[in-house]
Structure 1
Amino acid sequence: MTPMKSIAGVLGAVLLLLAFAVQAATPFDAKMFQSAQESGKTILVDVTASWCPVCAKQQPIIQSLEKDPKFAGVAVMKVDFDTQKDALKSFKVTSQSTLIVFKGKTEIARSTGETDAARIRLQLEKGL
């Protein structure tokens, strides 16, 4: 294998991984949220901030749940605590690291600062 083919293969693998990571969670969009609600989907709203250590602990847990076939139909939407103030207001959120589970238009569960994987899983299961 030539060095160029080797580099191309590595770059292709990296791009594939990045594409998967981007697909996993969707940045919050009010229209997408409303559409998911109207279709009766289970929705996890993840209020996060890049500087938040608790949020950093939550992320691998949420990513693991997204890969679990049990939660394949769950829409995960990330709200940026620093930039999406309208969303914070509409959800009545005052702190980053807040997780909110909806089943359609009904709020099922809410937590702030939760980093226990089993509790987060249980919270999400309530919306199924």
Structure 2
Amino acid sequence: MLTRRSLIVTALLSSMATSAFGAAPIPFDQAAFDAAQAAGQPVLVAITAPWCPICKAQKPILAKLGTGARFGSLAIFEIDFDTQKALVRRFDARSQSTLIAFKGRDEVGRSVGETQAEWIESFLEKTL
């Protein structure tokens, strides 16, 4: 029998998953990243910087693609190049504007400095 507490926890976890999957980019969260990979979800990690013009060009493209039907299950996580150095090193990113695509737990591609919407879309297809 479900208790009130378990229903609240289930609702909270469900809302967290909704915010990470099929949505605009969200700040990197280890638990959500692990859950997406464990579920076999397509995942994109975007290494960004607030001062980076390429990152600013990528952001609306990723937001649009992430909320579209084609990439509805895509989880997009942002890592700040300047303030999250440990994560930048962990993902072995050499610069901001790096996109890292995962199909479940497997990395399937990387892109650096791309701003063409069509190319980013075809790059994201590797995650499906």
TM-score of the alignment, normalized to the shorter chain, above 0.5: yes
Q: Which residue of 1 aligns with 2:123?
A: 123
Deviations 1:51-109 (A, max 9, x none): 00110111111111012101010001000111111111111001000001101110011
RMSD: 1.4
Q: List structure 1 segments (4+ residues) > 2 angstroms apart after TM superposition.
A: none
- Give how far 1:38 is off: 1.1
Give 3-state SS (helix, strand or coil) of 1:61's partner.
helix
Map of 1:39 onto structure 2: 39
Give structure 1 stretches of 5+ with no counterpart. Answer: 1-22
Match of 1:26 in 2: 26
Distance 2:81 2:45 in 1: 12
Report the counterpart of residue 86 of structure 2 in structure 1: 86
Between the two proteins, what is the percent identity of the paired residues?
Answer: 47
Is the counterpart of residue 95 in structure 1 residue 95 in structure 2?
Answer: yes
Rounded to whole Å, the distance in 1 between the matches of 2:49 and 2:105 is: 25
Per residue, is there more helix in 1 or in 2?
1
Please give the alpha-carbon distance, in whole angstroms, between the structure 2 residues aligned to 1:89 and 1:113.
Answer: 18
* 2:126 matches 1:112: no
What is the identity, as a one-letter code, of the residue corresponding to 2:27? P
Larger radius of gyration, structure 1 or 2?
1
Name the structure 2 match of 1:15: none
Query: What are structure 2's unaligned runs of at least 5 residues?
Result: 1-22
Q: For each residue in 1:11-43, what CA deviation from the matched residue of structure 2 results, as whole angstroms up to 9, or x when unmatched?
A: xxxxxxxxxxxx622200222211211111100
Distance 1:83 1:32 in 2: 20
1:65 aligned counterpart, secondary structure: helix
Q: SS where residue 110 of structure 2 aligns?
A: strand
CA distance in 2, matches of 1:100, 1:116: 16
State the aligned residue count: 107
